[in-house]
Amino acid sequence: MEYRYEGNEGEMVPLSAQQLTFSTGVQELPDNLCNGRGLLDKVTLPEGLIKIGIAVFAYCTRLSEIKICYTVESLGKAAFICCNQLTKVDLECSSSSPHHGLKTIGAFVFSSCRSLERIKIPSSVNALGKSVFDGCNILLEAILSTTSITKIPISGFADCPFLQTVSLPNSMESVGCKAFYQCFSLITVIVPLDSKPIEIGPESFYRCVFLANLVLPEGSNADEASFVQCTLLEDRFGEKADDIVHGLVHRFDNFPVQKIAYYNSCTTAEELRQCVEKLDKKESPLVDDFGMTPFHILFSSPEPSQDLFEILLDKFPHYVLGWKDANDNTAMEYLLNNWTRENKALLEDALQSWMYNRLDCWRSDDWRIRFLPTMNALLAQEDRVIRMSWFGIAWSALKHFENVESLSILEMALWKWQNKGERNNDGTKRRALDRDQCRSICGADVVIPNVEAFLGIIPSRA
């Protein structure tokens, strides 16, 4: 059933509504207008709308996407709370000025939206309410870098177990109590280079066990309970909050390339090129204290720069893309998790460098042809879980191929060694052995099975 809202006093959307449109001139949606409309799956908001009231779309469990037009100035408390199927939220900026449009997002607005994967807050926003994204179960990335907010509110992103990447604005002054409480997967928080000192509240990063990629401005401070059970930070800097803050302030002091990769959104390709060139004169470690290479840092950031990637790849070998950091992740896994349509070209380049080029080194057209469908399936897949599954298949296939080819080279080396050693008593060379004879006496029947077991190709025969 389609329902057209006229904006009359006391008018409510019926429970049976599946699609909702609005009459021209509607500027405000009253509190609870569609609260609990479990059949509603499509909403087209009108241009000229200014305010969305309290709990307007709360518990609309079939609503899958919403586009908030740039004329909307505020989202009321719990406006979309528990919209479990909401996967896409488009928060528009003004078409004429970023200073016109959405300014405030109230408390609990997107709380428990369990299908929301990414959120990008427009530059016009200057305030977020408490628990605004609390309980967003599969939220991966939150980009707030262009906003003018000064605080991550209390429990702003609490209990977002898959949240991996957050970018903050340079207006940030504080991170509230339990802001990232139990964000178990949080790895990267980007703080701009020109940020003011930040005050970290109690339990702000409680149990962010994988948090590694964070820099704090000089003068920042934290509550003693700010980083409780942040395993990686505690292992490297100690359990005291002051020591952790000091470590994060100086996170990249000895890693200039990693530092540029961290600030990639405000770094030019020329700056990175100059930094890399200096490394030829003065050595700098490729892996930092958290096992992260510049590729890890770059690919775990939101909207990574392709220009910077190409410079890094020109300087460092492609196989570094497969190195694992302290979180047991490769740079490629970060990139695949951060995949969006916008960085598809970057993913293609990275896969070309890391996988296709490795296949080319073996000069095997057969393996390349067999590999191609897997790579195409990976690049075409937009679902993160399925995409990571295809990556696992591709990675396993590549390792298997390289192991098989390595065994062939080993076997040829053994044959060559045996032929070279076959001489008569007087020192003259014996008649050349044929392939089968050489194989039976060169040791390949003993060496190869054990090497295969070591490489995991077949079970050990011992």
Q: What is the pLDDT of residue 420?
A: 64
Summary mean pLDDT of the chain? 88
Q: Name the β-bridge partners of 105.
A: 75, 128
Mean pLDDT confidence for 174-184: 97
Least confident range from 51-60, 381-390, 420-429: namely 420-429
Indicate whether 205 and 268 sit together in one domain: no
147 closest CA partner among 128, 165, 122, 167: 122
Say which CATH number the domain at 72 has: 3.80.10.10
pLDDT digits (tens, 9 = 90+) for 364-420: 777 778 888 888 888 888 788 888 888 888 888 888 887 877 777 787 787 777 666
Single-letter amino acid code for the residue at 56: V
Q: Name the β-bridge partners of 22.
A: 5
86 part of a folded domain: yes
Determine the 3-state secondary structure of 390 from DSSP: helix
pLDDT digits (tens, 9 = 90+) for 106-165: 999 999 999 999 999 999 999 999 999 999 999 999 999 999 999 999 999 999 999 999
In the numeric block, the tokens 């969305």 are attached to 52
DSSP 352: I
Query: Total structural domains in the chain?
Result: 4
Structural domain including 26 reads 1-139
What's the full length of the chain, in residues? 462
Mean pLDDT confidence for 26-44: 95
416 part of a folded domain: yes
Least confident range from 294-308, 316-330, 384-398, 437-451: namely 437-451
Helix (H) or strand (E) holding 165: strand 165-167
Distance CA 416, CA 411 (A): 9
Q: Name the β-bridge partners of 74.
A: 51, 104
DSSP 3-state helix, strand, coil percentages of the chain (rounded to 5)? 35, 10, 55
| Most confidently predicted of 67-76, 348-357, 415-424 | 67-76
Last residue of one domain, picked from the residues 362, 378, 393: 362
Say which CATH number the domain at 335 has: 1.25.40.20
Q: Model-level pTM? A: 0.85
> Buried b vs exposed e over 142-165: b needs ≥16 C-beta within 10 Å?
bbbbbbbbebbbbbbbbbbebbbb
Three-point CA angle 240, 245, 248, nearest 5°: 125
218 part of a folded domain: yes
In the numeric block, the tokens 């701009």 are attached to 192
Name the band, by pLDDT with cuts 50, 70 and 90, for residue 434: low
345 part of a folded domain: yes
DSSP 427: S
